[in-house]
Structures are given as C-alpha cells and as structure tokens.
Amino acid sequence: MATTVVIGTQWGDEGKGKIVDLLTGHADVIVRFQGGNNAGHTLVVEGKKFIFHLIPSGILYGDKLCAIGNGVVLDPKVLIEEMDELAANGLSVTPEHLKISYNTHLIMPYHRAMDHAREAAKAEGKKIGTTGRGIGPCYEDKIVRNGIKIADLLDPELFRDKLEENLKYKNFLFKELFGTDTLDADGIYAEYQKYAEKLAPYAANVSVLIDDARKEGKNILFEGAQGTQLDIDHGTYPFVTSSNTIAGGACCGSGIGPSKIDTTLGICKAYTTRVGEGPFPTELFDETGDKLQKQGVEFGATTGRRRRCGWLDGVVLQDAVRLNGIDGLVVTKLDVLSGLGGLKICKAYDVEGRKFSYMPANIRQAQAARPVYRDIEGWEDDLSGARSIEDLPLKARNYLRAMEEIAGVPISIVSVGPGREQTLLLRNPFETE
C-alpha cells in the first residue's frame, strides 16, 4: 500500500497528466483534490491525444477507481461533456469507476459570468488572465459560505433556495456594477436538475472511500492541478489560481490525514512556462524563447493560449521542494532542450541589488527580479528515442545532475516525449522496499 501525491512545481502544464497516466498503471485509486476545469492534462496513448479537464487522467485505464474530491470546483456541464466525449471514444464512465464528493462545490453559470465580467473590468496590467471558467468566483462563494455543493444539488428545495439567494447578490452586481446581463433562476434550476439526475449515482463520501481503499492495502494516487507558483497562499499573488495547489492541498481537498501520505513527486519541466499574466523572472523574449515555444509546442491545453517560455528557474524549484516536501523529482520535456546551444539555469534573483533565494512576496519585487544564471553546456542529440538514463548523452545527464543539486532531492522519472513509452523510470514511488 502506498499513497503518492503528484504536483506541479512551476506555473502549471509541467506534464502532470502524462506522469499521472504512467503511474496509474501501478495505482488502484486516482483522486483530483483541487482546481477545476481550468486544468488541461494531456495524455498521448498509442499516438492518440486525450485532454482531461476534470476527470482524473486515470480513467483511461478503464479498471481504476477515479475520485473528485471536495477541494475541486466542479462545472457539471463540463463534466458531462467530458463523460460524453470519453463514451464517444468507446470508454463509458460509470458510477462504478467515478465518484464525486458530496462536498464538492459546483461552478454555476453566474461564476463563469462573474469571472469574465471581473477580468473585463480590470485595467491592463491588473488582469490576471484567468481561464474564464468561473474558478475564482466559485471558490470565493465557498469561502464566504454561499457555495452550492453536490449534496445541495441533490436536495431540490435546498438548491432552489441557495440559487435564489445567490442570484439576488450576483444580479445586483451584474446590473449595477458591470452593466452585463442578469441571469434567471428558473432556467438555471431546470438545467441543474438535469445534472442532478445524471450525477446522483456518482456522489459519494470520498474521504471514507479513500480510507477504505487504504485499509484494503490499495495504492492511491493524488493528481494535482496547476503548479506551486499558482498556489493561492504561496504563489505569485494575485497572479495565481484560487486554490492550494501544493501537496498539502491533497489532504484538505480529499479528506486524508497528512500522516497517511507516503510520497510527493514534483513535476518539473526542464525549462519554464507560464500562461496568463504575472511575474516570470526567467522569461525569454528572444529567439531562444521562440524556439522553446515551438519545439515544446507550448500552447495552453485549456484555452489554446501561447505559453510564455523561459529558462529553468532554480529558485522556483527550491520553493517547490520546500513547500511540497518533495521526495522525488520528475523532469519532463528534457527532449525540448536539444539543439538550443548553451543552456542556463537560474540560481538566485537579484532584486534591486538584494539577493533572493526564494520568490519575493511583494509583487513589485517579484516583477523586478532579475535571474542570476549558471551556464550549462547544451547538446544537439535527439533524446526522444531514449529509454534508459544510459541512452542520454553525457551533457543531458549533467543537466539532470545540476537539477538534482539545485533541488536537493533525487530524480525519480525523466520524460523525453509525450508518449507513455518515452519515459525513463528511475524510482517507482509505488514500489516500497
């Protein structure tokens, strides 16, 4: 029995989907614990590409139990679309294989509308560049105790009451503050009652389910979304998402105690990307940045936006190791660095003459951070065919060693392409001695 948490160490899109899919082969239960359909997790299996936004990537195996924890914000429309898409690909999602916590909060149409209205009303330079999926407004309602949970959806009277209460506030803001369209309770009620009917068989106490699985000796995998620097508490606030993306979120967001987590794997791209606004000290605005974007095919899996690209940031990596308690690193997209010439890894920031070894909390300082680089020799070889660490050229292995030195933790997995087979597994977190 082992429990493993997989989280992103940077600003999301580190390749979590691919790695979760790979580890799912060794797991029995896969749990999403935060975020919502702002996530876009890509898997390439036998040349076929799948992008998951809400359902844990493990669903592709067909025989695993997938769970959506209380920490997730769930848009039922998107979930049902994702289920239908899987069914069209011959994989029917049944209540036997997917469970949703009664405590999971629902994204409502007014959350999406609020997300758009807020972003549109913000001045340039203040926009967050959200995914527009209603994530922030939904978490906001949860925190102020106005949210609507799956358990409420399944109680029509309670649902109607909460819906009307919420709409009173939201419609006032839409009309008076934003000057946008108001929303109608009857329409939303009818739409959500259909979702209630469809989703009722999937609702469960996910905390109990995880506990039972653990006691039965099963392997449990927690699939993080976003990345450490997008964490609401520890990220580059306010340019963050609205949940705790760090490993601790797996406990609060699913209902398992911290002492029951065995391993935390931090996924780290061999370089850095960011979608949306906010500080990014190692961002490149030159030819190398363009090359990383092109070679890495760096487009958002959810919004299709071009991802900003830059060198690997060792400060961000060290923050991630500390904040998540990472036991093992997973380096992805090492293949993308081929043919770039000399490489650089940021080892510290210079902020107006002051040295920083962590991300400054002051957003102006974070914006002003200038990277201090360590130069590392690059390589020309194509790495995509490598299947063991020995297949890698010495210079690529030196780069990995530099990453281990900076992180202070060993590398467990190296990924050299999007496919399942393009993976070098050095240590399996589910194989306990």
Contacting residues toward ligand GDP, per CB under 6 A? 8, 12-18, 40-42, 44, 301, 332-333, 335-336, 415-418
Between 219 and 293, name the residue whose CB sits nearer to Mg ion: 293
Tokens 């899109």 found at? 13
Q: At its nearest, how many Å lie between Mg ion and the CB of residue 301?
A: 4
Dist CA 380 CA 395 (whole Å):
10
Single out the residue of 19, 23, 29, 39 in contact with ligand IMO (rule: CB under 6 A).
39
Question: Residue 372 forms beta bridges with which residues?
Answer: 348
From the list ligand GDP, Mg ion, ligand IMO, none, partner contacted by residue 288 (C-beta under 5 to 8 A by kind): none
In 173-296, which ranges are E strands?
Answer: 203-204, 220-223, 263-269, 272-274
Question: Residue 419 forms beta bridges with which residues?
Answer: 44
Q: At its nearest, how many Å lie between ligand GDP and the CB of residue 417?
A: 5
197 class by beta-carbon count within 10 Å (0-12 exposed, 13-18 middle, 19+ buried): exposed
- Antiparallel, parallel or unpaired: β 328-332 and 411-415: parallel
The answer to whether 136 contacts ligand IMO (rule: CB under 6 A) is: yes
Alpha carbons within 13 angstroms on the beta-carbon side of residue 147 total 27
Can you tell me whether residue 312 is helix, strand or coil?
Answer: strand
Single out the residue of 301, 337, 376, 400 in contact with Mg ion (rule: CB under 5 A).
301
Between 3 and 131, name the residue whose CB sits nearer to ligand IMO: 131
Single out the residue of 101, 130, 288, 332 in contact with ligand IMO (rule: CB under 6 A).
130
The answer to whether 129 contacts ligand IMO (rule: CB under 6 A) is: yes
Q: What is the contact mask toward ligand IMO in residues 244 to 283, using x (rule: CB under 6 A)?
A: -------------------------------xx-------
From the list ligand GDP, Mg ion, ligand IMO, none, partner contacted by residue 335 (C-beta under 5 to 8 A by kind): ligand GDP
The answer to whether 97 contacts ligand IMO (rule: CB under 6 A) is: no
Q: At its nearest, how many Å lie between Mg ion and the CB of residue 41?
A: 6
276 class by beta-carbon count within 10 Å (0-12 exposed, 13-18 middle, 19+ buried): buried
Dist CA 377 CA 153 (whole Å):
57
The question of whether 116 is a catalytic residue gets the answer: no
Q: In the 8-state DSSP scheme, what is residue 299?
A: B
Q: Which of 7, 17, 3, 53 lies closest to 268, judged by CA?
A: 7
- Antiparallel, parallel or unpaired: β 343-351 and 354-356: antiparallel
Site for ligand IMO in 286-345 (CB under 6 A): 301
Specify whether the CB–CB gap between 298 and 292 falls below 8 A.
Answer: yes
Single out the residue of 37, 38, 57, 104 in contact with ligand IMO (rule: CB under 6 A).
38
Binding segment (CB under 6 A) for ligand IMO, from list 8-16, 98-106, 117-125, 198-206: 8-16
Dist CA 347 CA 405 (whole Å):
11
From the list ligand GDP, Mg ion, ligand IMO, none, partner contacted by residue 415 (C-beta under 5 to 8 A by kind): ligand GDP
Q: At its nearest, how many Å lie between ligand GDP and the CB of residue 361?
A: 25
The question of whether 391 is a catalytic residue gets the answer: no
| Dihedral sign (CA 135, 141, 144, 147) | negative
In 270-418, which ranges are E strands?
Answer: 272-274, 308-310, 312-313, 328-332, 343-351, 354-356, 370-376, 411-415
Q: At its nearest, how many Å lie between ligand IMO and the CB of residue 137?
A: 9
Tokens of 52: 């998951």
Between 40 and 109, name the residue whose CB sits nearer to Mg ion: 40
Q: Which residue ranges make up the site for ligand IMO (CB under 6 A)?
A: 8, 11-13, 38-41, 128-131, 133, 135-136, 225-227, 230, 241-242, 275-276, 301
Positions annotated as catalytic residues are 13, 41
